[in-house]
Amino acid sequence: MDEARATELLRAARERIQASLEDLAEPQDAGPSQSPADQATQLHDREVEEGLTERLRDELAAVARAEERIEQGTYGVSIESGEPIPDARLEAIPWAERTASEEERREGR
């Protein structure tokens, strides 16, 4: 994948992730409730939002690392094996650091 396309994809990903983080940061006032069921639902929603926020921050950090690899001239090759990462994978996940098979092994799938 050429550098211009990679930069464009990473910029778009950064913007999407930052917008999502901003949306999650906005307070969601459900109002006071005395119902245990409502309180449980609110607690569940907060936990889901915290998990999503963490995942988005991890993706944002991965985008920054990918941008560094572009600057270093190592974008598009696995940080694990040095093998080329297929363009189709980089189109789908422009911050990918490993080939699909390496990532599957890493995640234990």
Report pLDDT for 79: 96
Q: Which contiguous run of DSSP H or E holds residue 96?
A: none
Residue 32, both tokens: 């006071």
The answer to whether 63 touches 95, Cβ cutoff 8 Å, is: yes
What is the overall mean pLDDT for the chain? 89
Architecture of domain 3-25+36-106: Up-down Bundle (1.20)
Judge whether residue 71 has pLDDT over 90: yes
Nearest to 78 by CA among 88, 69, 107: 69
For residues 65-91, average pLDDT? 97
Q: At 92, phi and psi to the nearest 5? A: -80, -40
Report pLDDT for 63: 98
**pTM listed for this prediction:** 0.79
Domain ranges, ordered by start, for the chain: 3-25+36-106
